[in-house]
Amino acid sequence: MRKVAIIGVGQSAFVRGYPGSIRELAFEGFREAMQDAKIATTDIDASVVCSSPEYDKQRSPAGVLAEYLGLTPQPTFYVETLCSSSSTGLKLAYSLVASGLHDVVAVVGFQKMSEITSAESQERMGRGADIQWESPFGTMMPAYYATYARGHFLKYGTTPDDLALIRVKAATYGQINEKAVYRKPVTFDMFSDPDNTMSGPVASPLRVGDCCANADGSSCLIVACEEKAKIFSKKPVWIKGIGAASTAVNLSGRDLFSGLSVGIEAGKQAYKMAGITPKHINVAEVHDCFTIAELMAYENLGFAKPGEGKELIRSKETYREGSIPVNVDGGLLSKGHPIGATGGSQVRTIVLQLRGEAGAMQVKEPVFGLVHNIGGVGLYGNVTILGRE
């Protein structure tokens, strides 16, 4: 198979209530990636469009976006794995390029969530789980992840305070990320203040501060074969390992309630393909749709042993100066989570880190970076390892 690089990255600002249509929203991330790659639309051989359906009225958005982005008559198609759609799109782009079928592929992720209310969006998100056997009980994403938080608390003695520390870290970096939707500071004391929004109950043991916000946004990754990458890019970032997994949709079909099996499995695949171990990772973006999701990712990716993820955040090892910086762009908790755009945004952060272009969020000379992107309640998991060489 051919080597594959990422030669351009872009994302829109993640916002509440984007004042435009989905094609205009997608254009923002695409334009930034194209200007970053310094290539023309005629250099792109195919596009992969990624989002989660039902948040807007457009059916089959790939054709509509390809036309607006100037990517016709090249082939385009749509891919969906809920919140991990655009990292799945990256895996498909990798396959298309590695196989030799195409040389340059654009992965366009987008989501405009603001056309429906928060409660409507919770109902749609809940239907990303088992609609036949679970949704009739009134399920929603925070409650599903809350069952994992409770599972982790029961097994390992993790506490709500540990989760609050993760939100405080996210806000530390969200404040300096101009693309983030939530840029206000968050302090630990807010979680013990009954009058503060952060402490408000959602689904026990998760509180408002444990949950990321919906947002509108887009992202774009330009993926190229080695030959084209060396022509177009001074600093190509290479895809070293790419893993993916799925599991039972209904919680009753699962065995683990203190971690996500798809994260463990996808991580194993990615490390094996890259030929490295967790200790080689210098910077990571993990899927923190909820604080507990980040804590479980520490353990599922091997940054900490099972049950010891809390020690990493208590000792601030996942801060920018720590031994394994995680989500130092604010994560989903601060950036917001426009479902189909999220994975591409995570990859963008790691690409900028590996190029040394992450500004105030830059970690010291990273060689390997990791992206962990989860779809649904651990239904789909993608882990991608990127490297400078």
Catalytic residues: 83, 337
Which lies closer to another protein via its Cβ, residue 256 or residue 367? 256
Pull the structure tokens for residue 99. 């196989």
Which of positions 54-113 make contact with another protein (CB under 8 A)?
none
Q: What are phi and psi of 33, to 5 degrees?
A: -65, -40
User: Cα 256 from chain centroid?
Assistant: 22
CA distance 317 to 277: 18
CB 250 to another protein: min, Å? 6
- Residues 273-302 within binding reach of another protein (CB under 8 A): none
Q: What residue has token string 């908790």?
A: 333
- Residue choice 31, 127, 230, 280 for contact with another protein (CB under 8 A): 127
How far is it, in rounded angstroms, from Cα 359 to Cα 222?
Answer: 21
Would you say 192 or 250 has its CB closer to another protein?
Answer: 250
CA distances from 211 to 243, 337, 355 (A): 26, 10, 30
- For the bound state, the minimum distance from the C-beta of residue 189 to another protein, rounded and expressed in Å, comes to 22
In angstroms, give the least distance from the CB of 1 to another protein. 31
Q: Which of 131, 157, 227, 275: binder of another protein (CB under 8 A)?
A: 131
Stretch that binds another protein, among 99-107, 139-147, 159-167, 301-309 (CB under 8 A): 139-147
Contact between 194 and another protein by CB under 8 A: the answer reads: no
Q: How far is the CB of 357 from another protein (least distance, A)?
A: 40
Q: How far is the CB of 165 from another protein (least distance, A)?
A: 21
Restricting to residues 239-278, name those near another protein by CB under 8 A. Answer: 250-254, 257
Residue 380 has phi, psi (to 5 degrees) of -120, 145
Helices and strands, counts by H and E, the chain: 12, 11
Minimum distance between the CB of residue 343 and another protein, rounded to whole angstroms?
24
- In this complex, which beta carbon is closest to another protein, that of residue 175 or of residue 199? 199
- Spatial contact of 333 and 182, defined as CB atoms under 8 Å apart: yes
| Residue (100 or 253) nearer to another protein, CB | 253
Question: Is residue 195 near another protein by the rule CB under 8 A?
Answer: no
Of 130 and 288, the one with the shorter C-beta distance to another protein is 130
Q: Quick one: which of 249, 268, 244, 301 has its CA closest to 88?
A: 244
Closest CA to 169 of 330, 55, 376, 353: 330
Of 84 and 122, the one with the shorter C-beta distance to another protein is 122
Among 16, 17, 20, 133, binds another protein (CB under 8 A): 133
Q: Which residues of 178-215 are buried (b: 16+ CB within 10 A; e: fewer)?
A: ebbbbeeebeeebbeeeebebbeebbebbbbbbbbbbb
CB of 154 to another protein, least distance (A): 4
**Phi (first) and psi of residue 36, to 5 degrees:** -70, -45
Of 37, 35, 29, the residue nearest 13 (C-alpha): 29
With CB under 8 A as the contact rule, the residue among 100, 101, 154, 193 that binds another protein is 154
Residues 6+ away with beta carbon under 8 Å from 284: 301, 303, 324, 325, 326, 327, 350, 369, 370, 371, 372
Residue from the set 24, 123, 226, 317 that interacts with another protein by CB under 8 A: 123
Cβ atoms of 344 and 202 closer than 8 Å: no
Q: Which residues bind another protein (CB under 8 A)?
A: 119-120, 122-123, 126-127, 130-140, 142-144, 146-151, 154, 201-206, 250-254, 257
